[in-house]
Amino acid sequence: MSSHILSLLIFIPAAGALLMLIGHRFISSNGNSEDSGKTAVFHKWIAVIFTGLQLFLSIWLWVNYVPGGGIQYQEHHAWIQSFNIEYFLGVDGLSLPLIVLTALLSFIGVVSSWNIKKSVLGYFSLLLLLDTAMMGVFCSLDFFLFYVFWELMLLPMYFLIGIWGGPQRMYAAIKFFLYTLLGSVLMLLAMLALYFYTEPHTFNLIAMIQSGAAIRDTFWGMDIRMLIFVALFIGFAIKVPIVPFHTWLPLAHVEAPTAVSVILAGVLLKMGTYGLLRINYPLLPDQVYIFAWSIALLGVINIIWGALNAIAQIDLKKMVAYSSVSHMGYVLLGMAAVVSTSAAGSQAGINGAVMQMFNHGTITAMLFLLVGIIYEKVHHRYIFFPKDYKDPALAGKLAFGGLAGQLPVYSGFVALAFFAGLGLPALSGFISEAMCFIGGFSIFRTLTIIGTLGILLNAIYFLRSYMHIFLGPVSNAYEGLKDMNGRELLTIVPLAIIVIALGVYPRLMLDVISPTMNSLIKLVQDMALMVGIN
């Protein structure tokens, strides 16, 4: 089993989706496509069981992973021989946290979607298909396989936003699709260019690390390495999303159902930075040196721009969406620190970046889940009602107030999530953000100092919205609201535990990721020397 564990991780959800489709025919009494109560229960439990199994396997993988042991649990099979495409899977310290994150958030996503009414079969089978694609991206070590999974994600996401989303769902779905496809087709070209420039031609990302160093060519006076780097970078930047490619994100988040927002912010955004670390960094290290300052600058822009936008929002979900833009900026700043001349600086930066990817995944998932819970209760999520609200008596007024008294448990968890989001010490976000800043400061002083303003800005919108919603005079509009139920607690509590545990004892995570990331730093710095930069 151990040698096929990654395949299992990837295809267990897909098997679940298949089982749903087959089972549907047998269980639905009249054989038609509409859901009866019985089939809905069946689909929900299949989804829970299969994502639960995947989560269990991913934890098993975490426990059995040997830090510093290189790439483990490899699977290597020929796929299309004439094109040297391989089915090549493996896990290392960079992908492991994200694999666990994917499994965890998929499970939580399924549990949090328990109240879905519309086409239960379609919803859960697409969610599981999405799960398969995401897991595939993180496990693949063959560029082609990586690309296939990367693209496979788009289709279920399109439908999940487009069918189960909010009022503007169709526009949001196609905008998401077009943006990300634009990025990935550029990636396709870069992938083919890498394939044809390496000798022997290969898509194997590990083999490319060695052969990629030999790529030398110019096109219309531009270095081909730079062109490849930029094409890949734009592809990944759209996913992160890096300002100015971020405009799809708030829209998609606001329109998507809660579980999809959780997965979108928790997992999909990480793929952008994961791709940069997995592909751009080891394959084109000299370009990393050339672009490091730009990446840091973009990171700082993300931090500030995302936070300023979040401050301006009156829709709680939109605020959280923009906070994601801001938080991904920390990752970029940390990543840029790979070029730092001080070993401590570069290690803090890169390890902090990977840790921030995981931490942001858990924190933002909490935030979106909590927003989803209040939305289910009161069917809106405004901090202030907009000026053109349908009820003119309420327009522009404060929407909530004093909820803390009514919903003590809920407001407690919101406080935890908000504090984690703004980087309060002893919560996980603080550690990774601090590490990113330490890394950044060791080489980009001015930029990092500007970036730290982001912490302040983050505090503004989190604290202010907390004040408006939970503190102050009690609003009478929401009599008889119930506090969180058991199912909702089941989705929030594990994330809360992780947030606190990693905040108090970050070595749990750092020990796993740092051997891989430190060797990546060494690789980038050595290769850059070899290629002749620096």
Partner 1 sequence: MSNFSSIAFYLPELLLVLTILAVIVVDLIPGLKRFNWIIALAGIIFTGILLYGDYGVSESLYMGTIAADPFAHYFKWIFLIAGFFTILVSRHTHSLRDADLPEYNALLLIVVFGLFLMASATNLVTVYLGIETVSLPSYILAGILKNDRKSNEASLKYVIFGAFSSGLMIYGFSWLYGLTGSMSLSGIQQGLAGVQEPLALYMAILLVLAGFGYKISMVPFHFWTPDVYEGSPTPVTGFLSVAPKAAGFAVLMRFFYSVFTTGSMTPVAGVDWLTLIALLSAVTMTFGNLIALQQDNVKRMLAFSSIAHAGYMLMALSILSPDAIRAVMIYLTMYLFMNMGAFFMVIFAENQLDAHTVEDWKGLGRKAPFLGALTVILMMSLTGLPPSAGFVGKLYLFAVVIAGKKFYWLAIVGVLNSVVSLFYYFRIVKAMWLFNPADTKPVKAGGVITLSILLFTIPALLLGIYWTPIINLIDKSIGF
Residues that bind partner 1 (CB under 8 A): 33, 79-83, 147-148, 151-152, 154-155, 158-159, 162-163, 169-170, 173-174, 177-178, 181-182, 185-186, 188-189, 192-193, 195-196, 217, 219, 227
Task: CB nearer to partner 1: give 135 or 431.
Answer: 135
CA distances (Å), 499 to each of 139, 319, 507, in order? Answer: 24, 20, 13
Taking the C-alpha atoms of residue 518 and residue 529, their distance in angstroms, rounded to an integer, is 17
Give whichever of 48 and 174 is closer to partner 1, judged by the CB atom. Answer: 174
To partner 1, the closest distance from the beta carbon of 193 in angstroms equals: 5
Nearer to partner 1, 160 or 369 (CB): 160
CB of residue 230 to partner 1, shortest distance in Å: 12
CA-CA distances (angstroms) from residue 47 to 127, 233, 506? 9, 35, 32
Map tokens 């000798």 to a residue: 199
Q: How far is the CB of 67 from partner 1 (least distance, A)?
A: 34
Between 21 and 343, CB nearer to partner 1: 21
List residues bridging with 88 in a β-sheet: 76
Q: How far is the CB of 80 from partner 1 (least distance, A)?
A: 6
Neighbours of 193 (CB within 10 A): 19
Closer Cβ to partner 1, 133 or 495, answer by number? 133
Residues 6 or more apart whose CB falls under 8 angstroms from that of 370 comprise 410, 413, 414, 417, 492
The distance of closest approach from Cβ of residue 371 to partner 1 in the complex, given in angstroms and rounded to an integer, is 24
Distances (CA, A) of 37 to 18, 51, 119, 486: 20, 21, 11, 21
CB of 173 to partner 1, least distance (A): 8
Q: Check whether the bond before 200 is cis (ω within 30° of 0).
A: yes
Side-chain half-sphere CA neighbours of 462 within 13 A: 29
Q: Give the nearest distance from C-beta 122 to partner 1 in angstroms.
A: 9
Whichever of 109 and 156 has its CB closer to partner 1, that residue is 156
CB 331 within 8 A of CB 356: yes
Using the minimum distance from each CB to partner 1, give the nearer residue, 178 or 312: 178
Q: Residue 109 in contact with residue 285, Cβ under 8 Å?
A: no
How large is the C-alpha radius of gyration of the chain?
23
Place of tokens 């505090």: 459
C-alpha 294, offset from chain centre? 22
Q: CA–CA distance from 293 to each of 47, 349, 434 (Å)?
A: 44, 14, 19
Alpha carbon 143 to its chain centroid, in Å, reads 20
Burial 21-52 (b: 16+ CB within 10 A, else e): eeebeebbeeeeeebeeebbebbbebbbebbb
CB of 24 to partner 1, least distance (A): 10
- List, in sequence order, the alpha helices (H) in 65-168: 95-112, 120-139, 143-152, 154-164
Q: Which tokens sit at 305? A: 């721009």
Q: How far is CA 63 from the centre of its chain?
A: 22
Cβ proximity to partner 1: between 248 and 358 the closer is: 248
Least CB distance to partner 1 at residue 151 (A): 5
Which residue has 């040698």 as its token pair? Answer: 3
Nearer to partner 1, 3 or 82 (CB): 82
How far is residue 370 CA from its own chain's centroid? Answer: 17
Rounded least distance, CB 185 to partner 1, Å: 4
Q: 90 with 74: CB under 8 angstroms?
A: yes
> What distance in Å separates the CA atoms of residue 449 and residue 443, rounded to the nearest whole number?
11
CB nearer partner 1, residue 186 or residue 517: 186
**CB 308 to partner 1: min, Å:** 30
Which of residues 217 and 511 has its CB atom nearest to partner 1 in the complex? Answer: 217
Q: How far is the CB of 247 from partner 1 (least distance, A)?
A: 16
Nearer to partner 1, 160 or 331 (CB): 160
